[in-house]
Structure 1
């Protein structure tokens, strides 16, 4: 096998590791939301414990990337591919952290009756997860147009975040004894809003990978 072919295979393995990590982080977000909606405290604890698996995968990616750089001394686009994989793995690790944060909010609320059915927050989550999927697809295909489209959706997530938090805080005078629950639900909205930011950061890294230039897609 040629040196180039071997290097390409190593890059492919790095990408596979990263996508496996991303899938686990995405599932963790969904599981955490399920735990919140159904007040499943056991599931919330499982999400928190599972975060170690995502952290370990990030470490595996870091180690593989460092070995690749040391062995192959890549330059230009090849080097950017490795650097971007490292940066994206860091964003994905933070997605896992947001899942943990949502699970912790579910635990803080506990079995206290919800002030209203949780419907809009999962819709916001779906939108943010759609952004995450698009940013990762842009990374796989090295598609700058898809990356830009993904980042454009962040405004919609931000708008939904502002609307939901305003609505939640308006409940405090009506339900003063449920202030903790209302606050935790507002935190959950914030964690999901951050998910949109992580996806935008991934999209920015895709553009850097392809063009070699830094762009702020949140501007």
Structure 2
């Protein structure tokens, strides 16, 4: 059964979801700028970073005002705290998108070399995780949150694969070292985005259960028992 939100909590939730949409869009645009060598698009991503920062400040202000003036009950307090933590993770996603865009600018002036398909594939998985984690904030779906956490090792494995392939490439063609290192940093940024999605999913479990299960054996067991999310 969905929680009843009063107007102020509904506003906070709406702003968080808008922030999430913006962070996802910025990341997608940054990856496209990288793949297409689009300098103008990379510049747009970099210029828009402040929008996500402003969302974080706004959500923090709304949360603090609510806690100060409304004397929330435990379930409402959890919602406000989770909203603040999730907004911080989304702000970091925005930072990673900006980092990818900056590296896309550098790579656009390098000799054109095949962009490993693993990087866009990894980005798609990380952003699917982020979208699903935010959906849990609407529906309080613990099983979906567990499915998000279950996918994090998939991104970690692709990141390691990218590192191995790029390392081999640098050994074979030393002239590509600068290019390959930039792609390694991009890969790491995507891996971090998946980590932020996992953080948000863990907070959603706290929202539903009223119990912090991060780093617990209970969470590890629950993740192992959760089937893959249907696509």
Q: TM-score normalised by the shorter chain: which range applies? A: over 0.9
* 1:151 pairs with 2:149: yes
Question: What is the CA–CA distance in structure 2 between the aligned matches of 1:185 and 1:123, rounded to whole Å?
Answer: 14
Question: What is the CA–CA distance in structure 1 between the aligned matches of 2:137 and 2:112, rounded to whole Å?
Answer: 39
| Cα distance, 1:210 vs structure 2 | 1.3
Question: What is the CA–CA distance in structure 1 between the aligned matches of 2:178 and 2:108, rounded to whole Å?
Answer: 11
1:71 corresponds to:
69
Q: Cα RMSD over matched residues? A: 1.5
Deviation readout 1:2-55 (Å, 9 max, x if unpaired): xxx8x6111111110010011011000011011111111121111111000110
Q: Which secondary structure state, in structure 2, belongs to the residue aligned with residue 74 of structure 1?
A: coil
Deviation readout 1:58-94 (Å, 9 max, x if unpaired): 1111111111111101121110000000000000111
Matches within 5 A, 1:68-217: 68-216=66-214
**Kept after mapping to 2: 8 A contact 1:208/1:215:** yes
**Kept after mapping to 2: 8 A contact 1:37/1:118:** no
Q: Which secondary structure state, in structure 2, belongs to the residue aligned with residue 172 of structure 1?
A: helix
TM-score for both structures, normalised by structure 1: 0.93
**Kept after mapping to 2: 8 A contact 1:128/1:195:** yes
1:39 corresponds to:
37
Moved over 2 A (4+): 216-219
Unaligned runs of 5+ in 2: 221-231
Q: Which secondary structure state, in structure 1, belongs to the residue aligned with residue 170 of structure 2?
A: coil
Question: What is the CA–CA distance in structure 1 between the aligned matches of 2:194 and 2:115, rounded to whole Å?
Answer: 23
Deviation readout 1:102-152 (Å, 9 max, x if unpaired): 011112223212332342210110011110011111111111111011100
**Kept after mapping to 2: 8 A contact 1:51/1:100:** yes
Query: Would you say how many aligned residue pairs link Structure 1 and Structure 2?
Result: 214
| Cα distance, 1:157 vs structure 2 | 0.7
Unaligned runs of 5+ in 1: none
TM-score for both structures, normalised by structure 2: 0.89
Question: What is the CA–CA distance in structure 2 between the aligned matches of 1:133 and 1:24, rounded to whole Å?
Answer: 11
